[in-house]
Amino acid sequence: MGNKQTVFTHEQLEAYQDCTFFTRKEIMRLFYRYQDLAPQLVPLDYTSCPDVKVPYELIGSMPELKDNPFRQRIAQVFSEDGDGHMTLDNFLDMFSVMSEMAPRDLKAYYAFKIYDFNNDGYICAWDLEQTVTKLTRGELSAEEVSLVCERVLDEADGDHDGRLSLEDFQNMILRAPDFLSTFHIRI
Amino acid sequence: MAQPLNFVLNVPETPEDHGSQEPSPYDESEVHDSFHQLIQEQSQWVAEEGLELQQREPGAGGQETSGHLDESFCFVGSGQQALPGPEDALVHSTATLRILASMPSRTIGRSRGAVICQYYNRSVRLRRRVSRPELKGVRRSARPSLRLYDLELDPAALQEEEKRFLLVKELQGLPAAQRDHMLRGMPLGLAEKRCLREESQTPTGKQRGRQGPRGLFPCCGRLRDACVLALHSLGLGLLAGLHALRPWRYALKQIGGQFGSSVLSYFLFLKTLLAFNALLLLPLLAFIVGVQAAFPPPAPPGSARSFTGLELLTGGGRFTHTAMYYGYYANSTLNQPCAPAPAGGRCSREAAGLPYSMPLAYLFTVGLAFFITCVTLVYSMSHSFGESYRVGSTSGVHAVTVFCSWDHKVTQRRASRLQHDNIRTHLKELLAEWQRRRGSQSACGRLRRVAVRGLVWLLSLGTTLGCTVAVYAFSELMIKSPVSAEQEGALLALPVVVGLLNLGAPYLFRCLAALERHDSPVLEVYVAVCRNLILKMVILGILCYHWLGRRVGTLKDQCWENFVGQELYRLVVLDFVFVLLDTLLGELVWRLISEKQLKRREKPEFDIAGNVLELIYGQTLTWLGVVFSPLLPAIQIVKLLLVFYVKKTSLMANCQAPRRPWLASHMSTVFISLLCFPSFLGAAIFLCFAVWRVKPSSTCGPFRSLDSMYEAGKVWVRRLEEAGPRVSWLPWVHRYLVENTFPVYLVSALLLAVIYLHIQVVKGQRRVICLLKEQISNEGEDKVFLINKLHSVYERKERSRHRASFATVGTRIPAPQPGVMSSHPRSRLTLCHPPVPCFPQAGKIWSASRAQGRATSCRKSSRGAGTLTVHTGTCSAECWVRFAHFDSHSSLFTSPDCDPLRCCPS
């Protein structure tokens, strides 16, 4: 027990446990993963809450993210300033949302933010195009992409304003039972 | 070339903008960072992704502002090129947009303030529901007031700080567990959550401290606090322990990373089966096997045979008289004070112990274990159904494919490439299907397809029938030529035949299925599952008839229960052997052939449905055999563990992820229900029949002197009746509730009524949902109508104002963004001279083709910088160039060939 306590104080660990979906052991494991990303940058003592950020290049090179077409968006959405550089809090937050225990609403909220490429609070046709392009590595022709976008907007846009608001998105997610299992990263 | 005259305009805040301080959601988040960072981010992004410079770059750094500007570009300028822009949005002016953006429904979930507010409302609702304090006990100021409701109505009314304060107060009112739950589910940053937690925790402690002395027992409150805290940490510890017990974390991650959710669902199903078997085995071990092993019965004469090794396959020989089978268990009361004890010494020592009636224990433990399994199974099935089948889940395939099909678990490059390809093909298929659905198919083609399908069904049913007849004939043959004790190997003949049929028939079905081409892959899987299931269940049914109908008659003087137990043991073991064979032949050999001979680089696909059906079949065998061989679940557990590793190894080496989209959650629901409905229910019916109707053999087992196994319970009840009035309610319960058929009918009728009511309620809800959906769509149309009206009013106003300003200055900035611009003092709009507004009515200033050429050349040269946003709009075929947020201090346009001003006509 002794050497475990040197990284976090008891209160810190408890706070992390209460605010994320992780157990103590998982938090420690995640911390060591985080520390491994930049050993010379991240101290092994977090009791004084140091202000450390791991740059996006390192976050994006984690095996869990490196082949994910949305890795940049994920890092941006969860980082404080939207630049992809992450503190430990952001890092834990990201994996907490992507964990198995996180509820559907929370996941849907962050998924919406991830797909909202221009951060305007809606998924508009342009965001959709980006999504489709990333999903298919740009191997669909322009007409196909626009046709897909048109169909998606047609299906999911409940209030006919030509773009998807968070509500539209959540309604759509409700109908997709697989969302919970696919929007999930095992650590 | 004359130097063009340039206007660099500082955008002034018009008086109108001062007046309209509408809370725009864009303002609520942080204003953008430095421009320099934006350039870096974007150039990096472009270099990384290798994509063409988009017309409108997603602003990575200056998020809200650039997004906002983009939007306004979209509306005024282009939007016609590649993206099918929303038609109605195209024409909206900024004022309309601002109103739209500040509509209450739009602000939810977009800014931090709105999130906090939403969660505040939610926690208020929760607290009201959980513990509504009595009004008279609460001080006046603390009573719930209309103020809360007013907040619910207007989320934008309060400042963020105030909302936050209210949220903290609400959180303080909640019990600890609920507060944590709420905090975890909040879409806020972790740092913010921790702050909220701190703030909502400390005053609660103080409050409790204050409340303490007022109560009757001052220490009570503190004690309760300590208890709550201890329980909290205990709960966390237990949770951690459970998580540590979670086996195969790494293996599952590896499988999920390489093959995605679909293949993972097979292994998760296997894990579920392990849990079911453990649940079944624990009571059996504790109350039957363990107890009987502690009081071993006298060994029957001449049973000490040597161990040959064949027993592992046949389950006979030396295993016959062990705790493995029914025949070993005594029909006496164990631990009786000095009964005819097998070991005299033990009797005297444990004379004080409770008597333990083995027949009763046997009956009740098996019943209890089955009941527990049944409850768990039904619970998990209903849970799974609730998760995967929702109202209206059939519509919206495209949207679901685009947003939910990427499996974030996948970590391997190959697998991720495969997933890209799968999604692309799936999207293409969907589009093709959608286009085809609008056309129609010829009657001839449809007829031919129906004929082919009918033929294939006929063939597969014929195969099933053939297999059944073969098994039946073979079992009759086995009865006619009884096997002597020495040739135990011959006993394996029937299980081998069954295993071979089970192995071969699915391959035949697969070949047949290749003939009929189904439209949807899901339907194909369902059809395959259906055929295989019919085959397996029919074969098992025949075997059950063979055991209970025929064997019981022929094995009059022997222990038929032992025989059935051994038969099931053989089937389970051989099933495992055939799974191994299938893995070896179907996966390894096929891969070698396709790699070496056919020179294809494709590996065989992992057949999820077939493998899951194998598991279900094995589990059915286990359930069938529980009464006759109480240790069969242990064998099954060992088998499942081995299968896990064998399948995992084979999967990693030989297989690739399925190419077809696989609705993992639907499928796991289907598999759980298959496990419940034909498999568990069939086994339960078989066992009920064996317990109630079939006479147990008279030479062995705990029920040897009775007419049926159920008699043991009856005898016990009768004895209780004689024993005294203390437990007289039990015989009464037995007589009036179990033996009397009326209550049973009543209960089942009630159950049916409840189910019927439930179905009706669901139906009604479904109708309501449809109505609500219609209403939403109507509301949307209404809104669009109103927006258009609003816009036309604004446009008229704008047009008149615009005419006036254009006449005087000759400059008009299309769509300024007051909210954004004013927040950044140095921001400027640089316009070419003469300005080229995009309003068609403003008139052409210079020829369209010339302008377009300029713009294109400029865009080309600006590709490196990546911030120059150029719109060659189709709007009146005129070009206009606009530089958003030109920061005069940044070294943006240092390169001489990309001077924004050069775009302008000389």
Domain positions in chain B are: 259-295+312-332+355-433+448-707
Tell me the residues of chain B between 250 and 269 that have a Cβ less than 8 Å away from chain A.
Answer: 252-253, 256-257, 261
pLDDT, tens digit (0-9, with 9 covering 90-100), for A147-156? 889 888 888 8
Residues of chain B neighbouring A160 (CB-CB closer than 8 A): 777, 780-781, 783-784
pLDDT of residue A1: 43
- Is the pLDDT reported for residue B625 higher than 50? yes
The partner residue sitting opposite B84, judged by closest CB among A23, A146, A160, is: A146
Q: Indicate yes or no: pTM above 0.90.
A: no
Tell me the residues of chain B between 631 and 690 that have a Cβ less than 8 Å away from chain A.
Answer: 663-666
pLDDT of residue B186: 82
Instruction: Collect all residues with Cβ–Cβ distance below 8 Å to A79 and sequence separation of at least 6.
Output: A56, A85, A86, A87, A90
- In angstroms, the CA B498 to CA B571 distance is 8
The partner residue sitting opposite A175, judged by closest CB among B59, B393, B431, is: B393
Q: Between residues B106 and B279, which one has the greater pLDDT?
A: B279
Cβ separation A144–B194 shorter than 8 A: no
pLDDT of residue B498: 92
For the purposes of burial, counting CB atoms within 10 Å of the CB of B232, is it exposed (0-12), middle (13-18) or buried (19 or more)?
Answer: middle
Q: How high is the mean pLDDT of chain B?
A: 70
Whether residue B130 contacts residue B175, with contact meaning beta carbons closer than 8 Å, is answered with yes
- In angstroms, the CA B877 to CA B851 distance is 9
Whether residue B637 contacts residue B278, with contact meaning beta carbons closer than 8 Å, is answered with yes
- Is the pLDDT reported for residue A110 higher than 50? yes
Give chain A's radius of gyration (CA, Å).
19
How far does A39 lie from chain B, in Å, by closest CA?
A: 22
How far does A66 lie from chain B, in Å, by closest CA?
A: 7
Give residue for tokens 């990575």: B60
How far does B780 lie from chain A, in Å, by closest CA?
A: 4
DSSP B337-391: TTSS-SSHHHHHHTTTSPPEEHHHHHHHHHHHHHHHHHHHHHHHHHHHHHHH--T
pLDDT of residue B783: 80
State the count of interchain CB pairs (< 8 A) between A and B: 282
Q: Which helix (H) or strand (E) is B633 found in, with range?
A: helix B632-654
The partner residue sitting opposite B408, judged by closest CB among A68, A150, A167, is: A68
CATH number of the domain located at residue range(s) A10-98 in this protein: 1.10.238.10
- Is the pLDDT reported for residue B452 higher than 70? yes
Q: Between residues B280 and B857, which one has the greater pLDDT?
A: B280
Q: How high is the mean pLDDT of chain A?
A: 86
How far does A72 lie from chain B, in Å, by closest CA?
A: 9
SS3 (DSSP) at B658: coil
pLDDT of residue A2: 43
pLDDT, tens digit (0-9, with 9 covering 90-100), for B204-261? 444 444 443 444 455 566 677 778 778 877 776 776 666 665 678 788 888 888 887 7
pLDDT of residue B431: 82
**How many CA atoms, within 13 angstroms, populate the side-chain half-sphere of residue B111?**
25
Nearest residue of chain A to residue B407 (CA atoms): A182
Residues of chain A neighbouring B58 (CB-CB closer than 8 A): 117-119, 130
pLDDT of residue B647: 93
pLDDT of residue B294: 85
Q: Are both A10-98 and A104-182 of the same fold?
A: yes
Nearest residue of chain A to residue B418 (CA atoms): A136
Which range has the worst mean pLDDT, A3-7, B433-437, B461-465, B764-768?
Answer: A3-7
Residues of chain A neighbouring B84 (CB-CB closer than 8 A): 125, 146, 149-150
Most confident by average pLDDT, A120-129, A138-147, B463-472: B463-472
pLDDT of residue B616: 94
- Is the pLDDT reported for residue B1 higher than 70? no
- Is the pLDDT reported for residue A170 higher than 60? yes
pLDDT band at B591 (very low <50, low <70, confident <90, very high): confident
Q: Which residues pair with B9 in a beta bridge?
A: B829
- In angstroms, the CA B860 to CA B881 distance is 14
Q: Which helix (H) or strand (E) is B403 found in, with range?
A: helix B397-404
User: Sign (positive/negative) of CA torsion B683, B684, B685, B690?
Assistant: positive
- Is the pLDDT reported for residue B6 higher than 60? no
Whether residue B65 contacts residue B28, with contact meaning beta carbons closer than 8 Å, is answered with no
Omega of the bond leading into B506 within 30 degrees of 0 (cis): no
Whether residue B840 contacts residue B876, with contact meaning beta carbons closer than 8 Å, is answered with yes
Please report, for chain A, the start and end positions of each structural domain, with discontinuous segments joined by +: 10-98, 104-182
- Is the pLDDT reported for residue B774 higher than 80? yes
pLDDT of residue A178: 81
Instruction: Collect all residues with Cβ–Cβ distance below 8 Å to B79 and sequence separation of at least 6.
Output: B73, B85, B90, B873
pLDDT, tens digit (0-9, with 9 covering 90-100), for B247-277? 787 888 888 888 877 888 899 899 999 999 9
Cα–Cα–Cα angle for B470, B475, B478, rounded to 5 degrees: 130
Q: Between residues B371 and B51, which one has the greater pLDDT?
A: B371
pLDDT of residue B842: 36
Q: Which helix (H) or strand (E) is B88 found in, with range?
A: helix B87-90
How far does A73 lie from chain B, in Å, by closest CA?
A: 9
Cβ separation B85–A162 shorter than 8 A: yes
pLDDT of residue B377: 92
- Is the pLDDT reported for residue A93 higher than 50? yes
- 3-state SS record for B278-336: HHHHHHHHHHHHHHHHHCCCCCCCCCCCCCCCCHHHHCCHHHCCCCCCHHHCCCCEECC
CA-to-CA separations, B501 to A122, B495, B616, in angstroms, rounded: 57, 10, 16
For the purposes of burial, counting CB atoms within 10 Å of the CB of B246, is it exposed (0-12), middle (13-18) or buried (19 or more)?
Answer: exposed
Q: Which helix (H) or strand (E) is B234 found in, with range?
A: helix B218-245
pLDDT of residue B815: 44
- Is the pLDDT reported for residue B63 higher than 60? no
DSSP B696-751: PPSSSSTTTTSSSTTHHHHHHHHHHHHH-GGGTHHHHHIIIIIISHHHHHHHHHHH
Q: Between residues A49 and A69, which one has the greater pLDDT?
A: A69
- In angstroms, the CA B903 to CA B856 distance is 9
Q: Which residues pair with B605 in a beta bridge?
A: B656
Q: Give counts: helices (H), strands (E), chain A.
A: 10, 0
The partner residue sitting opposite B84, judged by closest CB among A68, A83, A150, is: A150
Residues of chain A neighbouring B59 (CB-CB closer than 8 A): 118-119
* Domain topology for A104-182: Recoverin; domain 1 (1.10.238)
Look up residue B589 and give its DSSP letter: I
Closest CA to B208 of B217, B221, B197: B221
Structure tokens, B81: 């090129």
To test the contact with chain B by mutation, choose from A182, A184, A187 the residue with the greatest count of B C-beta atoms within 10 A, namely: A182
To test the contact with chain A by mutation, choose from B74, B87, B116, B402 the residue with the greatest count of A C-beta atoms within 10 A, namely: B402
Give residue for tokens 């083995």: B358
Closest CA to B30 of B70, B59, B72: B59
Residue type, B773: K
Any long-range contacts for B33-37 (C-beta under 8 Å, 24+ apart)? B33/A81, B33/A83, B33/B61, B33/B62, B34/B61, B34/B887, B34/B890, B35/B62, B35/B867, B35/B885, B35/B887, B35/B890, B35/B892, B36/B890, B37/A83, B37/B61
Q: Between residues B691 and B135, which one has the greater pLDDT?
A: B691
CA-to-CA separations, B238 to A13, A24, A167, B594, in angstroms, rounded: 16, 11, 37, 50
pLDDT, tens digit (0-9, with 9 covering 90-100), for B688-728? 998 888 888 888 888 888 888 888 888 888 887 777 776 77
pLDDT, tens digit (0-9, with 9 covering 90-100), for B552-583? 888 777 888 888 999 999 999 999 999 999 98
Q: Which residues pair with B881 in a beta bridge?
A: B870
Q: Which residues pair with B160 in a beta bridge?
A: none
Cβ separation B427–A140 shorter than 8 A: yes
- Is the pLDDT reported for residue A106 higher than 80? yes
The partner residue sitting opposite B108, judged by closest CB among A148, A158, A166, is: A166
Closest CA to B403 of A120, A26, A112: A112
Q: How many residues does chain A have?
A: 187
- In angstroms, the CA B220 to CA B204 distance is 16
Residue B311: CB atoms within 10 Å:
17
Residue type, B229: L
Cβ separation A160–B664 shorter than 8 A: no
- In angstroms, the CA B6 to CA B835 distance is 9
The partner residue sitting opposite A136, judged by closest CB among B63, B82, B424, is: B424
The partner residue sitting opposite A158, judged by closest CB among B390, B398, B780, is: B780
pLDDT, tens digit (0-9, with 9 covering 90-100), for B632-674? 999 999 999 999 999 999 998 888 877 776 677 778 888 888 8
The partner residue sitting opposite A67, judged by closest CB among B88, B393, B411, is: B411
SS3 (DSSP) at B763: helix
To test the contact with chain A by mutation, choose from B190, B197, B670, B817 the residue with the greatest count of A C-beta atoms within 10 A, namely: B190
